[in-house]
Amino acid sequence: MANVVVVGAQWGDEGKGKIVDWLSERADIIVRFQGGHNAGHTLVIDGKTYKLHALPSGVVRGGKLSVIGNGVVLDPWHLINEIKIVRSQGVNISPENLIIAENTPLILPIHGELDRAREGLNKVAKIGTTGRGIGPAYEDKVGRRAIRVADLADRSTLEARIDRLLLHHNTLRRGMELEEIDKSSLTADLHEIAPKILKYSAPVWKVLNEKRKAGNRILFEGAQGALLDIDFGTYPFVTSSNVIAGQAATGSGLGPNGIDFVLGIVKAYTTRVGEGPFPTELDDNDGNRLGERGHEFGTTTGRKRRCGWFDAVLVRQTCATSGVTGISLTKLDVLDGFKKLKICIGYELDGEELDYLPTAADQQARCKPIYEEISGWDESTEGARSWADLPANAIKYVRRIEELIDCPVALVSTSPERDDTILVTDPFED
C-alpha cells in the first residue's frame, strides 16, 4: 500500500486541511511531521467547521490513528485546550486514536515570551512570526537544551533539563531587560501538565514501522509551505523547520523508503502572510478581488493575506525540492469571472531573465515577474466534481500550469467542501 506525503508548495494556506481530510478516508494513519501550532488547517465537513492547529487533520475521522511526530514542536497547554474544543464538537480523542512521539520537543511559555520580545525589539526587518514560540523552541532543540515529552516522566531528569534551559534563557532575558524565569513556577506547571500529555506518549518510529509492515496506509501531513522552508524558502522570512517532503522521514522516524507519493498542494493563484518577497503580488483591484473571493485571512493569526497571480517559477522550484509526484490544485473557483488571467513564467533581474528564484534576499526583492496572459472564464467552477463540469478555459488553465511546473495535476479542488474534488490520480493507488 502506498504512503503519501502532503506538502504545501507555496507559502502555506494552500488548502492542505481539506485535501488531507479528503485523503484521510483512504488512510489508516495520519502523521504531523513538522511545525507547531503556528499553522492552521480549516476543515469543513457536513457544514461543520473545524479549526486545527496542533492536532493532525485525521482526528475528525473515526477509525484513524493520528500521530504527532518528533519533527513537531508541541505546546502541551495549547494541545490540551485544542483537544477540549474539538471534543466539544463531538470528536472522540483518546490515546487509542492519538499518539505523540516521546522525543517531541515542548514549546514552553518562555518560548512565546522570547519570540514576541525579540520581534518587538527588531528594528531592522520583522520576520512576521506568529509569536507562539515555535522558533525559540526549535533553537533549544538544536542547542540540546529542549525539554521533550519523555522528560516529563522523570522528575530528576526534568529538573536537570530545566536547569540547563534556564541557564540559557535567563542570560538572554537579563540582556533584554526581561524578568528572569522562576524555576519553581515553571517546574510546577510542567508537573501539572505531564500526566495529561504522557498518556498519549509512544515510540512513534516503532509504531509507524510496525504499521507499515502490517500494510497500513500512512498519510503524512505537512504544515506551512515549501517556500517557508528554513533551507529552501525565502530566508529569513521563513518558518523555523524544514517543510519540504524529505522532512516527513526525519520528523517521524519511518525512513525515506517509506514514502511512495508526494502530493504538492498548490493554490490556483498565490498568497502570502507576513513579510518577505512576493514577485507576483498585486496591489490593485485584481488583488483585492482574489482576497475577497478567496476569504484570504490566516486561520491562526487572522491576518489578511497578500494576493497575486499564479507563479509557475516558484511552484516548479518547490516541486523539485520536495520531489512532488503530482499536485492538488485548489481554489480554482476563486478565478471564476476573470476575463484575463496571468501566470508568471520567469523573472527579470537587472536585465537578465531567470527561470528560478535566486537565493540572495536582495536579488529576490528585485525580481520582476514575466507574465503570460491566458483567457479566463465566465462560468462557475464551484462544486465541480469532474472534468466535464469545468469550462473549457478552466481546463486550459490547469493544463498550462501542468506544463509550466513540469508536474501533473492529481486533484483539483473547487470549493471548501471535501467532496467538491476532481480526482485525476489517486495517490494511494499510484
Per-residue pLDDT tens listing for the chain (430 residues):
689 999 999 998 898 878 888 888 889 999 999 999 876 777 777 778 888 899 998 888 888 999 999 999 999 999 999 999 999 999 999 999 999 999 999 999 999 999 888 877 766 665 666 778 999 999 999 999 999 999 999 999 999 999 999 999 999 999 998 999 999 999 999 999 999 999 999 999 999 999 999 999 999 999 889 999 999 999 999 999 999 999 999 999 999 999 999 999 999 999 998 889 999 999 999 999 999 999 887 655 667 899 999 999 999 999 999 999 999 999 999 999 999 999 999 999 999 999 999 999 999 999 999 999 999 999 999 999 999 999 999 999 999 999 999 999 999 999 888 788 999 998 988 6
Cis geometry, peptide bond prior to residue 236 (ω within 30 degrees of 0)? yes
The strand pair at 201-202 and 218-221 is best described as unpaired
Please give the model's pTM, rounded to 2 decimal places. Answer: 0.91
Residues labelled catalytic: 13, 41
349 neighbors 367 (Cβ within 8 angstroms):
yes
Task: Report the pLDDT value the prediction gives residue 60, as an integer from 0 to 100.
Answer: 86
For 361, residues 6+ apart whose C-beta sits below 8 A from its C-beta are 234, 235, 236, 277
Q: Please give the grid coordinates belonging to residue 44.
A: 469543513
Task: Report the pLDDT value the prediction gives residue 340, as an integer from 0 to 100.
Answer: 97
Task: Report the pLDDT value the prediction gives residue 299, as an integer from 0 to 100.
Answer: 57
Cα dihedral 144, 146, 149, 151 sign:
positive
Task: Report the pLDDT value the prediction gives residue 196, as an integer from 0 to 100.
Answer: 98
Q: How many CB atoms lie within 10 A of CB 197?
A: 20
For 163, residues 6+ apart whose C-beta sits below 8 A from its C-beta are 183
Which amino acid appears at position 119 of this protein? E
146 neighbors 137 (Cβ within 8 angstroms):
yes
Task: Report the pLDDT value the prediction gives residue 303, as an integer from 0 to 100.
Answer: 73
Task: Report the pLDDT value the prediction gives residue 304, as an integer from 0 to 100.
Answer: 85
Task: Report the pLDDT value the prediction gives residue 1, as an integer from 0 to 100.
Answer: 61
Q: Give, in degrees to the nearest 5, the angle at Cα 208 between 205 and 209.
A: 85
The strand pairing partners of 343, in sequence order, are 310, 372
Quick one: the chain helix, strand, coil %, rounded to 5? 35, 20, 40
55 neighbors 43 (Cβ within 8 angstroms):
no
User: Hunting for cell 509492515 — which residue is that?
Assistant: 213
Of 380, 346, 375, 350, nearest to 362 by C-alpha is 350
Give the three-state DSSP class for 327.
strand
Please give the sequence-ordered ranges of beta strands (E in DSSP) within 293-332, or none if there are none.
Answer: 306-308, 310-311, 326-330
Task: Report the pLDDT value the prediction gives residue 128, as an integer from 0 to 100.
Answer: 60
Please give the sequence-ordered ranges of beta strands (E in DSSP) within 63-142, or none if there are none.
Answer: 65-68, 98-101
Q: Give, in degrees to the nearest 5, the angle at Cα 410 between 407 and 416.
A: 120
User: Hunting for cell 490515546 — which residue is that?
Assistant: 95
Task: Report the pLDDT value the prediction gives residue 124, as an integer from 0 to 100.
Answer: 64
Task: Report the pLDDT value the prediction gives residue 50, as an integer from 0 to 100.
Answer: 84
Task: Report the pLDDT value the prediction gives residue 377, as an integer from 0 to 100.
Answer: 97
Cα dihedral 313, 317, 320, 323 sign:
negative
